[in-house]
Structure 1
Amino acid sequence: MSLIKLTIKGISYSQTQSGAYALVLSEMEGARTLPIIIGAFEAQSIAIALEKEIRPPRPLTHDLFKTFADRFLITVKEVIIHKLVDGVFFSSLVCEREGVEEIIDTRTSDAIAIAVRFLAPIYTYENILDKAGVYLKVEEELSLKETLEPEESSLDIDEIIAKKEDRFSNLSLEELHTELEAAVDDENYELAAKIRDEISKRA
């Protein structure tokens, strides 16, 4: 069965599931999307890897994995989302060291957080997209549209992790940059993302 290449379209905060986020993947050559519900830590880790302005003062778990792999000459060639059972996605990391390839089972959220750091492609199968599409329709009947339906979710990468807030609108750019630096130093990445959004609006 042929693989379908995916790209990260965005991350949206769930209005209906506390602490949950929807990571939305889309096929490179098509219009279908693959929403995956992930936890706050994994969402932050993926978002930070995608961002250029936010750099944690200490490495996150996925950063540590990347450093470890680099030190021991391990590369992550690709991520494959290979199974969907009862709404749970199963994935594999395809790794290589000294010409020897190994396949490692992993949670999809961890796999994608690692793939972003290695600039590794993300793939899935046609039947996964078919199953996910059917699964979304069931979820819509359960009134979870706000979490899973891309058309009604904010998928702009500039809005990742946190909802927009107006609390920083009265601060100057200099004050905002000071607040951003303090938030990163405190490892409060959710707050840092909100401040960064406000700075981006004024650019």
Structure 2
Amino acid sequence: MENAIELEIIGLTASHSQSGSFTLVLGELEGRRRLPIIIGMFEAQAIAIELEKITPNRPMTHDLVKSFSKHFDFTVEYILISDMREGVFYAKIVCQGPYKRVEIDARPSDAVAIAVRFEAPVYCSYPVMEEAGIEEADSGDSSKAKHSEAKEKPAVKKKEPSLKDYSLEKLNQLLEKAIQNEDYERAARLRDEINRRN
């Protein structure tokens, strides 16, 4: 697809900051940037079930879309994470039927859950990746550094100040460190705070 970057699902992790939320990490197929998106537990479960090829007893909502597609003769061509406004991502599901092609607005979490069921590619617009993408740190010796840092951490964790209390320079330093530690959830929060100030 022109004017967009193809992504793959890198992983799903439980969110430490928001109970019941997960971080969906998407990565460039031909690049090093990651796109972390905070999603709900239901959508995370819907994506994970399909990735693991688990068949639920009763169809889930996203499975119903696939059933509709079979009966009404349409398919999902691809999904596009098309926009980001005030920290909220927007997506489109591009469907092809016998007579016309349609773009349907969707939340990225639902769009990805549908894409995995249709084995449809996932794309991101260049502006969204420029604004929200996080460059993956070099994998050289970062794992060794990560392990040594983990050992040096004190047993009692101090309560961290709010991101609003940090200077822009400090936020950029914290963002770089979060990326090196592959803490994409924290990196996403830092990125959003930096974007709010710019």
Q: TM-score range by the shorter chain?
A: 0.5 to 0.7
Does residue 82 of structure 2 align to residue 115 of structure 1? Answer: no
CA RMSD of aligned residues (A): 2.7
Identity %: 47
* Equivalent residue number for residue 90 of structure 2: 90
Q: CA deviation at 1:109?
A: 0.6
Does residue 10 of structure 2 align to residue 9 of structure 1? Answer: yes
Written as runs of structure 1 = structure 2, the 5 A alignment for 1:124-163 is 124-133=124-133, 141=171, 151-153=181-183
Written as runs of structure 1 = structure 2, the 5 A alignment for 1:173-192 is none
* Equivalent residue number for residue 73 of structure 1: 73
* Equivalent residue number for residue 192 of structure 2: none
Q: CA deviation at 1:124?
A: 0.9
Could you state the TM-score of these two structures normalised by the residue count of structure 2? 0.68
Tell me, yes or no, if the aligned pair for 1:91 and 1:105 is still in contact at 8 Å: yes
Which gives a bigger RCO, structure 1 or 2 (Cα 8 Å, sep 6+)?
1
* Equivalent residue number for residue 42 of structure 2: 41
* Equivalent residue number for residue 164 of structure 1: none
Say if 1:131 and 1:94 are closer, same or farther in 2 by CA, change over 3 A. Answer: same
SS of 2:18 mapped into structure 1: coil
Alignment partners' CA distance in 1, 2:120 and 2:180? 24
Q: CA deviation at 1:10?
A: 0.5
Say if 1:25 and 1:93 are closer, same or farther in 2 by CA, change over 3 A. Answer: same
Q: CA deviation at 1:71?
A: 1.1
* Equivalent residue number for residue 145 of structure 2: none
* Deviations 1:26-78 (CA, angstroms, capped at 9, x unpaired): 000000000000000000000001003x3211110000111111111110000
Alignment partners' CA distance in 2, 1:10 and 1:154? 11
Alignment partners' CA distance in 1, 2:65 and 2:179? 32
The code of the aligned residue for 1:101 comes to R
Alignment partners' CA distance in 1, 2:43 and 2:179? 20
Could you state the TM-score of these two structures normalised by the residue count of structure 1? 0.66
Tell me, yes or no, if the aligned pair for 2:36 and 2:184 is still in contact at 8 Å: no
SS of 1:130 mapped into structure 2: helix
Structure 1 gaps, min length 5: 156-203
The code of the aligned residue for 1:9 comes to I
* Deviations 1:128-174 (CA, angstroms, capped at 9, x unpaired): 1111048xxx8994xx98xx85844499xxxxxxxxxxxxxxxxxxx
* Deviations 1:75-94 (CA, angstroms, capped at 9, x unpaired): 00000111001111100011
Structure 2 gaps, min length 5: 135-162, 165-169, 186-198
Residue correspondences, number = 148
Tell me, yes or no, if the aligned pair for 1:12 and 1:153 is still in contact at 8 Å: no
Q: CA deviation at 1:6?
A: 0.4
Tell me, yes or no, if the aligned pair for 2:7 and 2:124 is still in contact at 8 Å: yes
SS of 1:17 mapped into structure 2: coil
SS of 1:109 mapped into structure 2: helix
* Equivalent residue number for residue 31 of structure 1: 32
Alignment partners' CA distance in 2, 1:106 and 1:44? 17
